[in-house]
Amino acid sequence: MAAIRAHKALQTHTADGYRSMIDWLAARADVSHRTARAICWTATRLDDAPDVERTLADGEISFDRAEQLARLPKEKRENHEWFDIGQLRRQVAHHRRLSRKRERATSSPYLYIHTTLDETRYDLWGEFGGLDGAVVEKALNQRADELDGSEQFGISHRRALALVAICQDSLYQTHHSDSSPTSEVSITIDARTAVETTGESGVAVLTGPRIGAQALDAILCDAIVEVVGISEEGTPLNMGRRSRTVPPTLRRHILTRDMGCTVEGCSSRYRLEVHHSQPWSRGGRTDAESLVSLCWFHHQIVVHREGFEIIPVGQSRVRLTRPI
């Protein structure tokens, strides 16, 4: 630590052609820039903490402990041996001052959304201030806990599902407890390409990403759909045709009849949605005998995302099976 302070005072890194002391130390000591930054910072602070530097030099404490002790006020370093490094870090965070300038810097949240070139995957990352971050985390965790059946997934997967559910709630135009909400979606279909590939190509959301047959099934199942077919010559085959898959009156009847999710063993009533036992896109009828109630998890995740099929096993009960 004393040697690093001496080299810093002599501006050795400048004489050796390095941009900063951190770059110089990373090269000469063969450590990462993160480690070099921590060493340089600690060396500077230990000049005002001779007791910590002495115990470090005697080998009584590790460098990580010395770094955290250097960040603590002198009067708060007593009995540090009772704390592990994680607890010391929390002590440091507790005593760290949050200036108005730093608070303003952290109160400007941002969220980046990046999609791959083929628009089959979205990456999200960003930053929130402490208060906003706590609100977002609490909302996602609370919604994740409400998703029946999601316990099989890790917390990051469950939070992702919760974010999708919250966004779907925001986009839905109706919020009646007796009906599953619907949204309006426009899709374009390149007729020849879609037929030749059984819907695996040639289908896209209008001005949006390309989708496959599975996503198309999900859209046609529970949305107000406007289909625009495009012929080989580029001429629209059908414009403005809208089909509401389940009329509100019939939807209310199905939800009242089933009194909850119809999947065997599931008692969830969370955001019930009406589903065609035979997919509507493959000829399923929109009548009471062909419709069942599914909770959001079984409908959106298990059926439409994981590809499971449903098999009737009695009156208003179905069993899930993965297609072979």
Q: What does the pLDDT look like over 215-273, one tens digit per residue? A: 666 666 655 555 556 666 555 554 433 444 577 777 777 887 888 888 888 877 777 88
- Identify whether residues 9 and 92 lie together within a single domain: yes
Report the number of distinct structural domains present in the chain: 3
Structural domain contains residue 105:
no
State the pLDDT at residue 131: 67
- Identify whether residues 150 and 245 lie together within a single domain: no
- Identify whether residues 120 and 196 lie together within a single domain: no
Structural domain contains residue 70:
yes
- Identify whether residues 167 and 188 lie together within a single domain: no
Structural domain contains residue 103:
no
Domain extent, residue 131, equals 110-171
Higher pLDDT, residue 199 or 256: 256
Tell which of 98, 120, 142 closes a domain: 98
- Identify whether residues 192 and 313 lie together within a single domain: yes
Q: What is the pLDDT of residues 105-159, one digit of tens each?
A: 665 778 898 888 777 788 999 888 766 787 888 899 888 888 766 667 788 888 8
pLDDT at 176 over 50: no
The rounded mean pLDDT for the chain is 77
pLDDT at 162 over 70: yes
- At 290, the pLDDT band (50, 70, 90 cuts) reads confident
Structural domain contains residue 179:
no
Structural domain contains residue 178:
no
Contact assessment for residue 225 and residue 216, using Cβ atoms and an 8 Å cutoff: no
Structural domain contains residue 177:
no
pLDDT at 275 over 80: yes
- Identify whether residues 230 and 317 lie together within a single domain: yes
Q: What is the pLDDT of residues 66-79, one digit of tens each?
A: 999 988 888 888 88
- Identify whether residues 210 and 292 lie together within a single domain: yes
- Identify whether residues 163 and 119 lie together within a single domain: yes
Structural domain contains residue 20:
yes
